[in-house]
Amino acid sequence: MAMLPREYGRGERLRADDWNRSVRSLGRHQEAIERMRPAGRALSTGYVPGVHISVHNDTGEALSPRDIAGIKEHTFPNNPDDITISVEIPVAGTHEGKFVIVQESIPTDGIGDAIIVGCSLCTVSLVDENHEYAEIMDDETGKLESRKFGTAKILWHDGLSGSSEVDVTALVRFPEVNDYPGTTVFISNDTGADIDAVSVMGIKGHGDTGSPENIIITVEDPEAGKHEGKFVIIPELIANGTIGKGIISGLAICTVNMIDENHEYAEIIDADNTKLESRPAGSARILWREDPSGSGTEDVLALVEFPLDGPPPVWEATADESSGEITAKRIDSTGALVGAELTFTVLPEAGS
């Protein structure tokens, strides 16, 4: 039976705006009940899968559905039962992986619904059609930006093949949890600048000397003769003055400057934290890489295993074979001949 506005004395009736507001409030209450359904229960039509949360719009501007807002703080810290968070305009170096996607129009200083974990539609600035991830943009609430790596996984977008530098509607899953196939440690960034994703940093020291049980290390730009085999690869941006993750051993994706397409190893480059350099021998083994164009020295993405316990030595002959023997010197990680000249016996080929 439909409820009618209550009639007051002297013929006065409840204003339509007040009535509509109460109906909307009931609707939000029903939505809240739907959100608390146990896992596996059918979801109502139009329900967006994910963890929904009430957010207080502290951005200073109205938010629209599918907007991006950075997580700021608990709105009501004195009432732990009220899980409402305040959101702000995204800031690079602060809100990577720490944002919500708005699900309804929220006026300035208002409260509304957003997804904090899960899947949602949003706008993505597609920088490269091959990008499979996205990340927040500095001072931008209207969209994410596509990246090679990021905290949101692009599951689908409506851009045409060959599209780039365009805004697309995309379905993203966030925050994307990266279980890196290697040993990770906490990195305290005291370098004075942000450390970009896929950077290669030399190990500097222990970042929390007061608590030896906490393995937090500090890093610096690689230095030749110091950081060969003593570096970390940073999988995600670490803002200056903050703590993030670094891979200290195992498998990691990074950029490798391919000097020679036949090189199977890589090593740090002096004063360059953006990539490794291919070598005939080095402390990182190249397991896979993008195919270079064949135009000479080229930067490619590669999967590397590091640090090696000691790559097999590589030798270069210093003279032609003579009387079944040949002389050679070892090649170091820079490709230079080092050490004493040794004489090797040349074994006959099988069957000869």
Per the structure, the count of domains in the chain is 3
Last residue of a domain, one of 123, 157, 174: 174
Same domain, 190 and 293: yes
- Residue 234 CA to residue 243 CA, distance in Å, equals 11
**Residue 219 CB partners (closer than 8 Å, separation 6+):** 187, 189, 191, 195, 201, 202, 203, 204, 232, 246
Same domain, 252 and 336: no
Give a yes or no: residue 25 inside a domain: no
Q: Looking at residue 41, what is its pLDDT? A: 34
- Is residue 175 reached through a cis peptide bond, with omega within 30 degrees of 0 on the bond before it? yes
Q: In which domain, by residue range, is 93 found? A: 50-174
* 281, 231 contact by CB (below 8 A): no
Buried/exposed code over 102-128 (b: 16+ C-beta within 10 A; e: otherwise): bbeebeeeeebbbbbeebbbbbbbbee
Same domain, 241 and 167: no
Give a yes or no: residue 159 inside a domain: yes
Give a yes or no: residue 231 inside a domain: yes
Q: What is the CATH number of the domain that holds 260?
A: 2.40.300
Q: How many CB atoms are located within 10 Å of the residue 82 CB?
A: 11
Same domain, 288 and 329: no
Same domain, 339 and 288: no
- Sequence length of the chain is 352
Same domain, 212 and 293: yes
Adjacent-strand bridge partners of 152: 134
Query: What does pTM read for this prediction?
Result: 0.49
Same domain, 319 and 266: no
Same domain, 62 and 163: yes
- Residue 235 CA to residue 185 CA, distance in Å, equals 11
Give a yes or no: residue 350 inside a domain: no
Same domain, 320 and 226: no
Q: Which amino acid appears at position 51 of this protein?
A: V
Last residue of a domain, one of 174, 190, 224: 174
Q: Which two tokens stand for residue 210?
A: 């007061």
Same domain, 296 and 213: yes
Give a yes or no: residue 260 inside a domain: yes
Give a yes or no: residue 9 inside a domain: no
Tokens 């800031």, located at residue: 91
Give a yes or no: residue 275 inside a domain: yes
Same domain, 125 and 204: no
Last residue of a domain, one of 145, 174, 203: 174
What radius of gyration do the chain's Cα atoms show?
A: 29
Strand, coil or helix: 19: helix
Q: Looking at residue 210, what is its pLDDT? A: 58
Q: Which amino acid appears at position 85 of this protein?
A: I
Q: Looking at residue 338, what is its pLDDT? A: 75
- Residue 61 CA to residue 70 CA, distance in Å, equals 13
Q: Which two tokens stand for residue 78?
A: 């004195």
Give a yes or no: residue 136 inside a domain: yes
Mean pLDDT by 10 residues, the chain (352 residues): 39 54 53 43 49 93 96 82 89 89 95 92 92 92 89 88 82 77 84 93 80 76 92 90 87 91 92 94 89 74 83 73 82 71 72 52
Q: Looking at residue 8, what is its pLDDT? A: 35
Q: Which two tokens stand for residue 293?
A: 């164009």
Adjacent-strand bridge partners of 53: 114
Same domain, 109 and 155: yes
